Amino acid sequence: MIDWNAIGAEAAELLSGYLQIKSINPPGDERAAAEYLDGVLRARGLTATRYASAPNRVNLVARLRGDGSKPPILLYHHMDVVAADPARWSCDPFGGEVRDGYVWGRGAIDMKGMGIMQALALDLLQHHQPQRTRDIILLAAADEEKGSVYGVQWMLAHHWPELAAEYVWDEGSFGLQDFFGPMPVFAISVAEKKDLWLRLVAHGEPGHSGMPHAANAADILLRALERVKQLDARYVLHPVVQRMFAQIGAALPYPKSFLLQHLDNPLVFRLAQPTLTADPTIAAMLKDTLSITVLRAGGKENVIPDRAEATLDLRLLPDHEPETVMATLRQLIADPRVTIEIIQAPAAAAVSDVNSEFYRTLTAVLKRLTPGCVTAPMLTPGTTDSCFFRRMGVNSYGLFPAIIDPGELARFHGIDERISIKNLRLGTRIFYEVLSAMTR
């Protein structure tokens, strides 16, 4: 029998130590964090290998062997965290304080807490399930908060054979309570948006600003920007999002249940749109978003600029192609004086299988350990390292196995980030039970 209360306490203590390491990115330095994790694993008889991608940048890989009759599962987390302003926190963001049933600190839910759950689950697995069909790989990555160039991208380019897995378990969402209803909804990310960065350049004629003319590049650009914003109101229902709403809808009372379960009907979809899209996170799952992020024109008070440019940050749905979206933008702008340049185009995005053995096992464990919960696939509006694994043909699933409400989620990259000991216990147990079932 496993004493889960003792495991929760052990997780809190280990996480407290992990949160005290300032692995802030930028600048990015994971050496101390990797050293700490290595110690945690070594104390439990597990050994890890460190891979330096740059002088201060380290990735760590541990492997619990199985008999190899099935391919490995990879548990992913990143060791780096975003900055925290101590003046705005109620405690030291790097103090690792344990208070009121919570472990406080930057990285608690993004995502060192999940790393500790994984390490403890690995230890439990080696003791309680000596016969295992699969290797379990633990990857503690660098540089996720700044593009993963020194982290997963580097690891996949240089050490793919060590990481080749059938499934990856990554972050991406949580068990969300009081978002859709009182019941926790474990939204398992199986796909994500992809970034397309474009530069609009308006070409005009210079002149004296005391005698305005019709070819002011700033005017041309403003008109174009007004038009491209129409893209933002074009809602579509991706199959993953449809399935998510249908499964959440099944747990809600009428008429919400009816609406959410019939969004594939264009009439119902249009009827539900104002309510659904009132939430920016939901809205972002239903369209290609467009944000104007940089504007540049002119250099002198009394000179009409002949060139003006704007940077657009577009986040496309997984099955939308950059060329098609750019063609739509050209159509909307309908002005040959405005050109569109690609700053950065996304690689093709894959969607992970919602009928795989891993997905079915994960949802079964979640339902057993959290009676009354809902499980649903989700499309992450942001980006995670899963996109790199999916490009390698791996089914990657994003779920931080903890139940949190909107107030707790606001602490993610925010102030007073924390995780409850109850969640550390639950999450470790979810990891353990899933791995146990998957390695039988």
At closest approach, how far in Å is the CB of 281 from Zn ion? 16
Helix, strand, coil distribution of the chain in percent, nearest 5: 40, 25, 40
DSSP strands (E only) in 193-288: 194-203, 207-208
Q: Which is nearer to Zn ion, 110 or 143 (CB)?
A: 110
Q: Which is nearer to Zn ion, 110 or 288 (CB)?
A: 110
At closest approach, how far in Å is the CB of 375 from Zn ion? 21
Q: Which is nearer to Zn ion, 30 or 110 (CB)?
A: 110
Strand partners, 375: 186
CA angle 239, 241, 243 (to 5 degrees): 70
Residues 6+ apart with CB under 8 A from 95: 19, 20, 104, 105
At closest approach, how far in Å is the CB of 81 from Zn ion? 8
Distances (CA, A) of 114 to 117, 169, 430: 5, 10, 11
Please state the φ and ψ torsions of residue 256, each to the nearest 5 degrees: -55, -45
Q: Which is nearer to Zn ion, 25 or 439 (CB)?
A: 25
Q: Which is nearer to Zn ion, 173 or 247 (CB)?
A: 173
Residues 6+ apart with CB under 8 A from 190: 240, 351, 352, 353, 354, 359, 377, 378, 379, 397, 398
At closest approach, how far in Å is the CB of 157 from Zn ion? 21
Taken as a whole, the chain contains a residue count of: 440
Closest CA to 303 of 204, 201, 226, 202: 204
At closest approach, how far in Å is the CB of 322 from Zn ion? 25
At closest approach, how far in Å is the CB of 111 from Zn ion? 4
d(CA 424, CA 381): 25
d(CA 158, CA 361): 31
Q: Which is nearer to Zn ion, 38 or 110 (CB)?
A: 110
Report if residue 192 touches Zn ion, rule: CB under 5 A: no
Q: Which is nearer to Zn ion, 173 or 439 (CB)?
A: 173
Contact map string, positions 82 to 121, toward Zn ion, x by CB under 5 A: ----------------------------xx----------
Looking at residues 252 to 291 of the shown chain, list those that interact with Zn ion (rule: CB under 5 A).
none
Residue closest to Zn ion when measured from CB atoms: 110
DSSP strands (E only) in 298-430: 303-304, 307-316, 338-344, 374-380, 395-398, 403-404, 418-420
| Per rule CB under 5 A, count of chain residues that contact Zn ion | 2
Q: Which is nearer to Zn ion, 110 or 135 (CB)?
A: 110
Residues that bind Zn ion (CB under 5 A): 110-111
